[in-house]
Structure 1
Amino acid sequence: MPRIPRRPLLGAAAALLACPGLLRAQSRPVRLLVPYAPGGGTDIFARALAEGLTETLGATVLVENRAGANGSIGSEVVARAEPDGQLFLVDTGSHVMNSYTMPSLPYQPLRDFSPVALLSKFPLLLTASASAPFRDVAGLIAAAKASPRSIGFGTSDAAISYAGNLFTRLAQIEMVEVPYRGAAPILNDLVAGHLPTGWNSTVAAAQHLSAGQIRALGVTTTARSPLLPEVPTLAEAGIAGYDFAGWYVMVGPSKLPPAIAARMHQAVLKTLELPRVRERLLSIGADLGVLGPEPLAGFLREEDARWAQASRDGLISRMP
């Protein structure tokens, strides 16, 4: 994925100020809607971004949480919103995947949203409670094989669910998926010892790992995370063929004017050059490669095709 250019974006400030419905000083704040509970990785990322966007845009940018139904409740709010540049969705890979996991999704992810920016890719983590008896992937697999369906794993959206179920399939073990409304409740139960394992983003888990409250057993990508260089990839830990990355995206309502989408993308680029924002997000494992509206549209189509094939292959299943 292309990196953010280090050179200043010539003319970006003028372009931002020229956008009538989005970026000039105004009485109404710009809202970033996160369709998950506060405290999770998407929420943490969005709040850091919103703080910087407030400076970049010269307008208040707020984060609003609308959790529930695997992110679809909040997503529908944005899908039905006026395309005036006042409301954007910040979501994960589940944004596209939900089409293949939810039988009655009230919107179509490609049709009913306007691409704005791919914000970041990041590895997911297989994490364990500090009180769990296993300390690595081999120990978890051994425990699961000794007592099938006795160990739970927490998930918070369709992409996280896929990561967990892909692991159990490739490891040839039986575990019990425990769905949550967001990453923060998973982490709370891991810290408290109520949940043995869970799947999280590096963004959500970073502070709990540094405090020693949970353990990271493996990362889902084929390369180790620079944030956690001591944590093996799942492939290194013996799960051959495991490779999966999460991502954050910003989209707007359908029929968002292309000029607004392009200028918001420019604002995101400018914001991620602010040292405090950049350092904050890099420190929690975010990869700040950004795609604009047109390449993002192609990326989302590729993701849609990927999940359609995964559904046909039985690698993901519809939620009740």
Structure 2
Amino acid sequence: MTITRRGALALPLLMPALAQAQRFTAQRPVRMVVPYTPGGVSDITARLIADPLSATWSQPVAVENRAGADGIIGTEVVARSAPDGHTLSLVSVGHPVNAAFYRLPYDTMADFTFLSLTTRTPLVLCAARGFEAGTPAELVALAKRRGAGAVTFAGTGGVVRLAPVLFGSLTGTELTYVPYRGSTQAHPDLIAGRVDIMFDTVPAALPHIQSGALKAMATTGAARSPQLPDVPTMAEALLPGFEASTWGMVMGPGNMNEDLASAQSRDVAAALRMPAVVERHRVLGAEIVSSTPAETRDFVRAEMTKWGETARRAGIEPQALR
């Protein structure tokens, strides 16, 4: 083999990246840890991109559900793994939000390499069909008229728990939190009027909105939801700049090689752009998004600050895991 002078000069620059790629392309499966139960958006996204990533990387990508403790158990597995690209995770907004609720066994920022966002799903402020308020402004007026804490909201943890707190702090209202294990447990009480409002994900609330059992007052994304095009965003209706969404993200252990992280980020973005992947998420009410490692890290840091401050305003302090 003949090496040109230009090739010889470039070789030292290429060697670290080639060495890293060589280690990664050894015939070992890639684990995509989903720290939640099967069937959620994070799990569905992981399974949809696993096949195209497997084809791109010429090795199997196996999705592994490691649920428990609001995603902390599976996330810790990733934090303790080798940063060689063979262990990745697809997490949600719960990753930065968990730092506001728990004393974690890992550092939310330092122990991970953030590769790319995957999806964004807005929430919808909804209430029973007969609830007195029909818009965010009417809700604020009602809450002030009834008095502090008289309006109740259903919450299931994470951003669904904190979005009403953010709403209350920005509107000068105090709402009372009623905890539920999940949307399916909260919806009967919401529909019956036993709890007043809920900031739920659009996919979870949509069937009840379409049936007329619930009414939608506003969505919380940067733009209107394609599933609810006639419903204004919270920014349009009352609070400019208000945004509260669930989202997905691929990350790996901390200290991954920068070239490897960038390459895997690009491959994830390419898998997300496949028509079948885009269409499946459209049906779910989730918008496909992607980002560079640097953009992803900045986004996670901003989310951690935003929801951490919101939790502190509500008097929420990180608790030890049980």
TM-score range, shorter chain: 0.7 to 0.9
- Describe the SS at the equivalent of 1:269: helix
Cα distance, 1:153–1:22 mapped onto 2, change above 3 Å: farther
For 1:108-187, what aligned pairs fall within 5 Å after superposition? 108-128=107-127, 133=131, 136-137=134-135, 146=146, 148-149=149-150, 151-157=152-158, 159-180=159-180, 185-187=182-184
Residue 81 of structure 2 aligns with an amino acid whose one-letter code is A
**CA–CA distance in structure 1, aligned partners of residues 86 and 200 of structure 2:** 30
For residues 167 and 34 of structure 2, what CA distance do their matches in structure 1 show?
Answer: 27
Structure label with greater radius of gyration? 2
How far 1:134 moved relative to its partner? 5.2
CA contact 2:154–2:177 (8 Å) conserved in 1? yes
Determine the structure 1 residue equivalent to 2:290. 290
Aligned mates of 1:128, 1:23 — CA distance in 2: 51
> What is the aligned-residue identity percentage?
33
Equivalent positions of 1:195-234 (< 5 A) are 197-202=197-202, 204-205=204-205, 209=209, 214-234=214-234
Amino acid aligned to 1:74: G
Q: Which residue does 1:93 correspond to in 2?
A: 93
Residues 311/134 of structure 1: CA separation in 2 closer, same or farther (3 Å cut): closer
Q: Decide whether aligned partners of structure 1 residues 54 and 316 sit closer, same or farther in structure 2, where only a CA change above 3 A counts.
A: farther
Aligned residues: 296
Match of 1:8 in 2: none
TM-score (normalised: structure 2): 0.73
Aligned equivalent of 2:186 = 189
> CA RMSD of the aligned region, Å?
3.7
How far, CA to CA, are the matches of 2:211 and 2:54 in structure 1? Answer: 31
Q: Which moved more, 1:196-205 or 1:68-77?
A: 196-205
Query: Which runs of structure 2 are paired with 1:19-98 in the superposition (5 Å)?
Result: 19-20=21-22, 26=28, 28=29, 30-98=30-98
How much does 1:196 deviate? 5.4
Give the direction of change, closer, same or farther, for the CA distance of 1:235–1:270 in structure 2 (3 Å limit).
closer
2:7 aligns with none
* Structure 1 length-normalised TM: 0.73
Q: Which runs of 5+ in 1 are unaligned?
A: 1-14
Do the aligned partners of 1:51 and 1:61 also contact (CA within 8 Å) in 2? yes
**1:113 Cα deviation (Å)?**
0.4
Give per-residue Cα distances to partners, 1:282-320, cap 9 Å, x unaligned: 333333231122332333344445456x26973673244
2-structure distance, mates of 1:122, 1:92: 10
Change (3 A) 1:199 1:155: farther
5+ residue gaps in structure 2? 1-16
Following superposition, the deviation at residue 269 of structure 1 comes to: 2.0
Match of 1:107 in 2: 106
Q: Does the 8 Å contact 2:165/2:310 carry over to 1?
A: no
The one-letter code matched in structure 2 to 1:47 is: R
How far residue 61 of structure 1 moved from its aligned partner, in angstroms, is: 3.2
User: Equivalent residue of 1:123, what SS?
Assistant: strand
Q: Give me the whole-angstrom Cα distance separating, in 2, the residues matched to 1:203 and 1:266.
A: 28
Q: Aligned in 2, Cα 1:176/1:40: closer, same or farther, shift over 3 Å? A: farther
More helix by share: 2
For 1:59 and 1:206, how far apart are their aligned partners in 2? 38
- CA separation in 1, counterparts of 2:43 and 2:130? 27
Distance 1:49 1:200, change over 3 A: farther
1:21 and 1:85 in contact (8 A); partners too:
no
Shift of the 150–219 alpha-carbon distance from structure 1 to 2, 3 Å rule, reads: closer
Distance 2:217 2:35 in 1: 27
Quote the Cα distance in structure 2 between the aligned partners of 1:77 and 1:241: 36
- Give the whole-Å Cα distance in 2 for the aligned partners of 1:220 and 1:205: 13
Match of 1:263 in 2: 263
Instruction: Report if aligned partners of 1:21, 1:86 keep a CA contact under 8 Å in 2.
Output: no
**For residues 289 and 304 of structure 2, what CA distance do their matches in structure 1 show?**
20
Q: Distance in 1 between matches of 2:229 and 2:239?
A: 18
Q: CA, structure 1 residues 311+178, in 2 after alignment: closer, same or farther (shift >3 Å)? A: closer
Q: Give the C-alpha shift of residue 73 in structure 1.
A: 2.5
